[in-house]
Amino acid sequence: MDLFEKNLERFESYFLKHLPKVTSFHPHYEEALQAMLQAGGKRFRPMLLLKVVEHEAPLLFENALPVASAIELLHTYSLIHDDLPAMDNAPLRRGEPTLHVRFDEVTAVLVGDALNTHAFYMLSQAPLSAQVRIRLVETLAESGGVSGMVLGQAIDCYFEQKPLDIKDLEFLHLNKTAKLIAASLKMGMIIANASSERESLLEAYGLKLGLAFQIQDDLIDATKSTQEVGKPTNNDGAKNSFTNLLGVEETIKRRNELVAELEEDAKKIGGALGEELTQSVKSYFLKG
């Protein structure tokens, strides 16, 4: 078992032991709270945070697990809401029926709300200093809230069927996708008490990584089947996606340009962390 697999196993074990639990007479509230969290997923964002902590402050790895969990909770809430009939109306996520299909739309809305707020509860309980916890709350709220992920989602929904140019499309996805990925790296640096310069370096790297991640997601939607991916594909016909704007070949070219830039940026990060980020990026984006 390599280091990544070991750390993923440590995270998954912690995460599943600390799922939100609520005793009540509601017939399925607790089940619904846990359903999408138990359905798996890449755990991309929490593993980025833990990768940083592993290299920059390994003694704080266990302390960072509730923070990594908070990021996954916030991300999962965004997927639940993204799949709602009012947005993408998707029937499948992580290979499982979406919550509004499995239960009902009200349950899906409320579970999304609950996971959003529970993320910040987990941050508040992390065994870290009060100053660090406040900075983590600030960073996650900023990236996931009014001037981050929610702004990106608002633009994405409003401009459906209204084509954007490449500059506005990148702005959309820097907010909707990239800021939370960048926050994952920055929050790892906050836990490690890194310098402000190093924090900023990782945050900038994360924004570029997030944009590449979204481009890859658009390519997957355009070229893979629902069975391969575990969620509906060929589903972006009316949306502002890179493949709709640029076509598949130009989108691949743009992704590869970003991957090359990320390799250069990782050299500035340096050390074992920079090397591992480079290997992870190549493995994820250039496989097959």
User: Are 126 and 133 within 8 A, CB to CB?
Assistant: yes
CATH fold of the domain at 3-285: Farnesyl Diphosphate Synthase (1.10.600)
Asked if 68 and 54 touch (Cβ cutoff 8 Å), the reply is no
Helix (H) or strand (E) holding 105: helix 105-125
With H, G, I as helix, E, B as strand and everything else as coil, classify residue 121: helix
Q: Which residues of the chain have pLDDT under 50?
A: 288
d(CA 179, CA 211): 9
The domain locations on the chain are 3-285
On whether the pTM is more than 0.75, the answer is yes
Look up residue 192 and give its two tokens. Answer: 């490690």
Give the pair of three-digit tokens for residue 139: 């960073």
Q: CA angle 231-218-275, nearest 5°?
A: 100
Predicted pLDDT of residue 288: 44
- Quote the crossing angle between the two packed helices 61-82 and 29-38, to the nearest 10°: 110
